[in-house]
Amino acid sequence: MSQGPLSAKLFAAAKQIIPGGVNSPVRAFRNVGGEPFFVRRAKGCRIWDVDDREMIDYVGTWGPAILGHAPVPVIEAIHNAAKEGVSFGIPNPYEVEMARLICEWVPSIQKVRMVNSGTEATMSAIRLARGFTKRDRIVKFEGCYHGHVDSLLVAAGSGALTHGRPDSAGVPSAFADLTTILPLNDVEALESLFAAQGGGIAAIIVEPYPANAGLILPKPGFLQKLRDITAKHGALLIFDEVMTGFRLAKGGVQEIEKITPDLTCLGKVIGGGLPVGAFGGRADIMDILAPDGPVYQAGTLSGNPVAMAAGLAQLRELQKQNGFARLEELGQMMETSVLDALKATGRDYQWYRRGSMFCLFFTGKPVHNLADAKSADLAAFRKFFHHCLDNGVYFAPSQFETGFISMAHAKEDIARTAEVAAAALRAL
């Protein structure tokens, strides 16, 4: 029962005027069967569809809603900023405040440029890395999704993986030819590549905790190996922390793992739910961006005052509420409940979590890379997903996505979720 009658009517209309009826492919429910519902409103950790069905939400706008939906400080900040004008195309004070906060919280970032999406951030970081090193080749890892950038939409995760087409039509082979794809956590393949082509590699781009093929964690020492080998060969290391930045710690994964990348891509949480991205890093690299340098990047809405105000309000509230400690507490509660349910039902599915991000892979095989993730039992996941949805718990409609807990989730919400999930596992 993915749809009520009003959602069905809206989806039928949407399919006539929007490709596939959705504005982002993973929303289409192709991986789980059925058709999507339409949301009327959201508050806290709950969403209500147009048919007034209430659900506990673990998608959280795919990550940005770290305080929950429609948090008062963010809504007030949006209202106050919008009263003064929703866009200027001229520098505004909010973007300076946001840049200062990002540089303060993420020590590897000495200078930062605001953009409008995570895709725009990764695209710009890749161009900057090529311009700085005067090299062309980029290295990425299977299952890591860095937005729909032509040169990076190769062996991708997220929606591309969900729909069974990791590579997109419309990407010229010449673009893809400049991208080398490696298996995640494979040090031997990494070393072989750099031994053969190290002098031509501009950068490695990686999700330090890959979260677009489920949540896959790096093996001990793997991120440090990336840092060491790029430094040795004069390539840059780019951390795509669009998902993890300000979600797991003030300084993101690089703070947790004590790794210093050359460039970092951000998004999601820093927008408070509005379209925002950013990329930043070492000053000597950032200084070759236009207008000071030869690498061109621009955006009419970059540093939008309403988006900057929303993001600042969210980050300050997160700090005020000691958010990362609270989210770890909620994440641990969820983990204990899930592991208990797996044990009680005799399932050997693989559970991974860091802070408020989590994934349950429907496979008995430990997941260290994309091939491991694709061993998941998708039929079992479909049954699990629909059982949970029918009982008021909304997880992402794909095995290959990460779940998100927010500050608005209460212990009672976690307990109810565990109860529903356990019943879903028993029903498989």
The domain boundary residue, chosen from 287, 319, 351: 319
Check whether 166 has a pLDDT greater than 70.
Answer: no
pLDDT at res. 171: 73
Amino acid identity of residue 384, one-letter, is F
pLDDT at res. 2: 66
Residues 267 and 338 in one domain: no
Residues 16 and 153 in one domain: no
Concerning whether 145 is annotated as a catalytic residue, the answer is yes
Residue 149 banded pLDDT, cuts 50, 70, 90: confident
Check whether 106 has a pLDDT greater than 80.
Answer: yes
pLDDT at res. 165: 42
Residues 309 and 343 in one domain: no
Q: Residue 101: which CATH number? A: 3.40.640.10
Task: Give the pair of three-digit tokens for residue 124.
Answer: 């710009």
Among residues 240, 262, 372, 413, the one annotated as catalytic is: 240
The domain boundary residue, chosen from 290, 319, 348: 319
State the DSSP H helix or E strand holding residue 41, giving kind and residue range, or none if neither. strand 39-43
| Residues 35, 29: Cα–Cα separation, whole Å | 6
Handedness of CA 280, 282, 285, 287 (dihedral sign): positive
DSSP letter assigned to residue 133: H
Q: What is the pLDDT of residues 192-216, one digit of tens each?
A: 999 999 999 999 999 999 999 999 9
Sheet of 403-404: strands edge to edge? Answer: 350-354, 357-361, 403-404
Amino acid identity of residue 346, one-letter, is G
Domain count, the chain: 2
Residues 252 and 362 in one domain: no
Check whether 170 has a pLDDT greater than 90.
Answer: no
Residues 141 and 212 in one domain: yes
Q: What is the pLDDT of residues 255-301, one digit of tens each?
A: 999 999 999 999 999 999 999 999 999 999 999 999 999 999 999 99
DSSP string, 288-324: TBTTTSSB----TTTT-HHHHHHHHHHHHHHHHTTHH
Taking residues 322-342, what's their average pLDDT? 97
Q: Which of 27-31, 91-95, 375-379 has the lowest mean pLDDT?
A: 27-31
Q: What is the pLDDT of residues 220-250, one digit of tens each?
A: 999 999 999 999 999 999 999 999 999 999 9
Check whether 219 has a pLDDT greater than 80.
Answer: yes
pLDDT at res. 168: 64
CB–CB of 72/272 below 8 Å? no
* Those residues with Cβ within 8 angstroms of residue 354's Cβ, 6 or more apart along the chain or in another chain: 209, 215, 217, 244, 248, 256, 331
The domain boundary residue, chosen from 291, 319, 347: 319
Q: What is the pLDDT of residues 1-54, one digit of tens each?
A: 568 999 999 999 999 999 999 998 888 898 899 999 999 999 999 999 999 999
Task: Give the pair of three-digit tokens for residue 420.
Answer: 């529903």
Among residues 58, 145, 209, 394, the one annotated as catalytic is: 145
Report pTM.
0.94
| Residues 338, 329: Cα–Cα separation, whole Å | 14
CB–CB of 48/41 below 8 Å? yes
Concerning whether 140 is annotated as a catalytic residue, the answer is no
Residues 130 and 230 in one domain: yes
Please report the beta strands in 126-281, taking only residues with DSSP state E, as ranges in sequence order.
Answer: 137-141, 179-182, 201-206, 236-240, 263-267, 277-281
| Residues 128, 126: Cα–Cα separation, whole Å | 5
Residues 208 and 246 in one domain: yes
Residues 189 and 211 in one domain: yes
Among residues 57, 58, 94, 268, the one annotated as catalytic is: 268
Amino acid identity of residue 224, one-letter, is Q
pLDDT at res. 155: 54
Residues 29 and 165 in one domain: no
| Residues 19, 14: Cα–Cα separation, whole Å | 8
| Residues 355, 330: Cα–Cα separation, whole Å | 8
Q: What is the pLDDT of residues 117-132, one digit of tens each?
A: 999 999 999 999 999 9
Residues 337 and 195 in one domain: no
Taking residues 356-378, what's their average pLDDT? 97
Residues 170 and 295 in one domain: yes
Average pLDDT, the chain: 94
Residues 348 and 300 in one domain: no
Concerning whether 232 is annotated as a catalytic residue, the answer is no
Domain span at residue 185 reads: 72-319
Taking residues 87-93, what's their average pLDDT? 96
The rounded Cα 353 to chain-centroid distance in angstroms is 14
Q: Residue 373: which CATH number? A: 3.90.1150.10
